[in-house]
Chain A
Amino acid sequence: MSSQATASAEPNYFEVTKGFKSWALTLDHKRIGLMYLFGILFSLLLGGAFALLVRTELMMPGETISSADTYNKFFTLHGAVMIFLVIIPGIPAALGNIMLPIQLGAPDVAFPKLNLSSFYLWCTGAACLLLSIVMGSVDTGWTFYTPYSLDESKSGAIIPAVFGVFLLGFSSIFTGLNFLVTVHKFRPQGMGWFQMPLNLWALYATALMQVLATPVLGITVLLLFVEHTLHIGIFDPTLGGDPVLFQHFFWFYSHPAVYIMIVPAMGVVSELMTTFTRKPIFGYRFIAYSSVSLALLSFLVWGHHMFVSGQSPLANMVFSALTFTVGIPSAIKVFNWVGTLYKGDIRLQTPMLYALSFIIMFTIGGLTGLFLAILATDVHLHDTYFVVAHFHYVMMGSALVAFLGALHYWWPKFTGRMYPERLAQVCSIGVFVGFNLTFLPQFVMGSRGMPRRYWDYDPEFTIYHQLSTVGAFILGVSLFVVVCYLMVSFKKGRKAPKNPWGGTTLEWDAPSPPTLYNFPEPPVIHELYDYDDIVEDGDNGWVRKPRPAGAPPKEKH
């Protein structure tokens, strides 16, 4: 109660300053994160629209709504928009930006101006990427593989697209650098490394990968640009270049990029599991270490994308063996989440529904990855719909679903408004059903030989494609409704209490929405994930039990 009084005494970050300039030049991490979030949600709808165009075209064999050339552009734009504009920045740049300093009890990130510049780099990169649509559009797939991407007749579209990716990469590096320094320097006294929420461990591991891997993406697309303009002959086989080298360069970044997408999602799920089971997380240190070990292992497995690309047998064997090691930290996390669920007081609110969806779909996505890590089976499954289904289970079914879970979890905190819970629960089920209906049939048709990226197919695959298309529309409608009710609740939602879910991390001690520097008074560091001290208090959400005068502080784990 007293905190609410405090919250009303000091204006929140929406009220401090107003007008376009106050947002365009803001250095407040929450406003920057919110601007990222709206950009990402717009990109999600755009990427989703391209996905629905792809699925509509594949509803029937032969031409349905577009020519083969146009279809190639649809799937390229779907992949590029979803990867570079939605999933990579989704949790770190948008929600991480908003929540990382608050979870640390800090007033802002370490370098606020760098933070704003990374947002403008993201905007410029996104504009360049989308400019390629009007410049003729890229049809190489989001990977820009050479020699497809060296076709000079498409330079007008490819050059702005790769320049956009170059800028987006720098935006990601700046965010990662900011987070690394913030976690090192802005942790308050009393919050050691092992008193940090697991979400911060995940964001820290992600930042390591962003800083170490993303420069290679910059080098790769810069070389592609130079190859287009100066014909230096590094990737172009007609000039003595090596197209497989491009794949080495590309995947040295893009495999860690997979973990840049999934590791922060795992951090979110750890938070959701503990909050909505009212239990301390099972195996805190193992989950923390597994985030960092995933970050390190992510640098050792890029060659598994190239088993049938002409890579040498020696490299194939090394990368196949190393790929299996990734299963260990991933499995540690899943076992610990399930261990947290055991005998928990499970509350099936929307964020938890997304977290449970994540566990199911990440398990399917992870286990099907092992099929692809085996050299013998990969020869058959490579470039089939089996691969498409596998990475969508990891990227969309896991990373994007965790993003939705995180969005609903922290939405009341950073907007100060509640979303409609019942509608949100229905939509989360719609996302789960729609997603599985879309991608489970793709495992089957992929294992039966349906190649990916084909515009036409044999009639035997029709039923699988039709099921997949129906699922995609259920998924698309569900996501559209999610975006709509969030936008409505942003203005008209019920006012959120300080702690609507009973979370124990520091952000729940800040007002909803937070003040300019997050906390009106320096926050007190409590025992992490200790639910004994928090009780439900009607419309006020959850509050900390007052400690008896003179009671000794609880020992931190």
Chain B
Amino acid sequence: MADSHASAHHDDHDHGIAHTASVKVLLGTWGALMVLTVITVLATKVDFGPSLNLAIAMAIAAVKATLVILFFMHLFYDKLFHTVLVIGGLCAAALFVGFALMDSGQYQDSIRWDLDRAVQTK
């Protein structure tokens, strides 16, 4: 298996990794990331309210992360199964963080913090 693997990649460059994305695509992705960074900065200049500002910033960050995964990390050229794995991992993380924060947000109002007393008793 190791032999066949080695022969399949005999035309790779010295680091043994094939470039599946063209320079044009890589530069285009880099350009898109730069533009999105500028949009992120500009979006902070407009006051949409704290929730909407955060949502816009997170949405732009999600688009940027997707571009990185698709083109810089080659997922776009990879097997569909690997996309399923990545999406599955992201869903697991979203589920964990989403549910924990949802629940935490629900019961925060019922907590009565008394930090002064806590410090005294410690």
Q: Which residues of A contact B (CB under 8 A)?
A: 212-213, 216, 237-238, 240, 242, 244-245, 248-249, 252, 299-300, 303, 310-315
Contacts and interface: CB of A to CB of B under 8 A. Distances in A.
Given A299-B92, A312-B107, A237 B102 contact: no
Interface in B56-108: 88-89, 92, 95-96, 99-100, 102-104, 106-107
A315 B118 contact: no
A249 B97 CA distance: 9
Contact of B96 (A216, A244, A313): A216
B23 interface: no
Given A212-B89, A238-B115, A240-B113, A252 B122 contact: no
A477 B54 CA distance: 62
A300 B102 CA distance: 14
Contacts of A249: 100
A90 B117 CA distance: 47
Contacts, number: 46
B18 interface: no
Contacts of A216: 96
Contacts of A240: 113, 115
6 tightest Cβ-Cβ pairs between the two chains A and B? A312-B106, A238-B118, A248-B100, A315-B103, A312-B107, A212-B92
B92 A303 contact: no
B119 interface: yes
A315 B99 contact: yes
A37 to B, nearest CB: 28
A62 to B, nearest CB: 31
22 contacts: A237-B118, A238-B115, A238-B121, A240-B113, A242-B104, A244-B103, A245-B104, A248-B99, A248-B104, A299-B92, A300-B95, A303-B99, A303-B103, A311-B107, A312-B106, A312-B107, A313-B106, A314-B102, A314-B106, A315-B102, A315-B103, A315-B106
Contacts of A313: 106
Dominant SS at the B interface?
A: helix
Contacts of A213: 92
A197 B96 CA distance: 32
A252 B89 CA distance: 14
Contacts of B106: 312-315
Given A242-B104, A314-B106, 20 more contacts: A212-B88, A212-B89, A213-B92, A216-B96, A238-B115, A240-B113, A240-B115, A244-B103, A244-B104, A245-B100, A245-B104, A248-B100, A299-B92, A299-B95, A303-B99, A310-B107, A311-B103, A312-B106, A312-B107, A313-B106
Contacts of A310: 107
A313 B115 CA distance: 26
Contact of A312 (B88, B103, B113, B122): B103
B91 to A, nearest CB: 9
Interface of B: 88-89, 92, 95-96, 99-100, 102-104, 106-107, 113, 115, 118-119, 121-122
A223 to B, nearest CB: 13
A208 to B, nearest CB: 9
B119 A244 contact: no
Contacts of A248: 99-100, 103-104
A436 to B, nearest CB: 37
A216 B115 CA distance: 29
A210 to B, nearest CB: 13
B122 to A, nearest CB: 6
B119 A238 contact: yes
Contacts of B92: 212-213, 299
Contacts of B113: 240
B42 to A, nearest CB: 34
Contacts of A245: 100, 104
Nearest to A212: B92
A220 B42 CA distance: 37
B122 A238 contact: yes
Contacts of B104: 242, 244-245, 248
Nearest to A256: B92
Contacts of A315: 99, 102-103, 106
Contacts of A303: 99, 103
A179 to B, nearest CB: 15
Contacts of B96: 216, 252
A165 to B, nearest CB: 18
Nearest to B110: A310
A294 to B, nearest CB: 15
B78 to A, nearest CB: 14
B99 to A, nearest CB: 7
Contacts of A299: 92, 95
